Amino acid sequence: MRELILGGVRSGKSRYAEEQALGRGGELLYLATATAGDGEMAQRIVHHQQQRSPRWQLIEEPIALPQMLQQEAKEGRTIVVECLTLWLTNLLMDDDEVVLRWQQDWLVELLPTLSGNILLVSNEVGMGVVPPSPLSRRFCDESGRLHQRLAQCCERVTWVVAGLPQTLKGIEHG
């Protein structure tokens, strides 16, 4: 089962993904894409780690997400990817168009072939004001296109608002 979980900042999407993963049983892997570039981000990472059950394994991978998923996905394991927008930011900041396209294409092509459960968490950024800077506008465009592509190849797409999951595609949540 592949699920794309979208929502705004502090919408409850990460907590929802973790609850879904715990409910599926088996091995749990948290695949984190964040890098602690500053003190505030380091605190956010520590806060997330402290809130998770000790059952979780953790791998941090800011760029090579498809490679890591290919290596780690297997029957009986649930992987939570947190989060796609940070991964996309890392790719954009690398400023290599070929790698940006290749990584996104690979993820979209690979995802339907993976074993186990994959929960992809991402920030929906396309509902606000058009950003003033070219890089910010490009980020919004890239994340919107990536979300559309992933929604097509995921069995379930969930929108989380104020901690409340809303099914956009697939089976209703129990």
On whether residue 152 sits in a domain, the answer given is: yes
CATH code: domain of residue 98? 3.40.50.300
Of the residues 47, 48, 147, 173, which is catalytic? 48
How confident is the model over 43-102, as pLDDT tens digits?
Answer: 766 766 667 677 899 999 999 999 999 999 999 999 999 999 999 999 999 989 999 999
- Residue 157's domain spans which residues? 2-120+132-169
Structure-block tokens of residue 26: 């088996």
What is the arithmetic mean of pLDDT over 95-122?
A: 96
Q: In what order do the strands lie in the sheet with 77-82?
A: 56-60, 27-32, 77-82, 117-123, 2-7, 156-161, 164-169
Instruction: Mark whether 48 is an active-site residue.
Output: yes
Which residue did the predictor score with more confidence, 134 or 127? 134
Whole-number pLDDT of residue 82: 95
Q: Which of 102, 67, 103 is nearest to 87 (CA)?
A: 103
On whether residue 95 sits in a domain, the answer given is: yes
pTM, two decimal places = 0.91
On whether residue 174 sits in a domain, the answer given is: no
Number of domains forming the structure of the chain: 1
Distance set, CA 58 to CA 17, 68, 158 (Å): 15, 12, 23
On whether residue 36 sits in a domain, the answer given is: yes
* Minimum mean pLDDT range among 76-80, 113-117, 122-126: 122-126
On whether residue 127 sits in a domain, the answer given is: no
On whether residue 102 sits in a domain, the answer given is: yes
On whether residue 151 sits in a domain, the answer given is: yes
On whether residue 125 sits in a domain, the answer given is: no
At 93, which helix (H) or strand (E)?
A: helix 84-94
Q: Which 8-state DSSP code applies to residue 17?
A: H
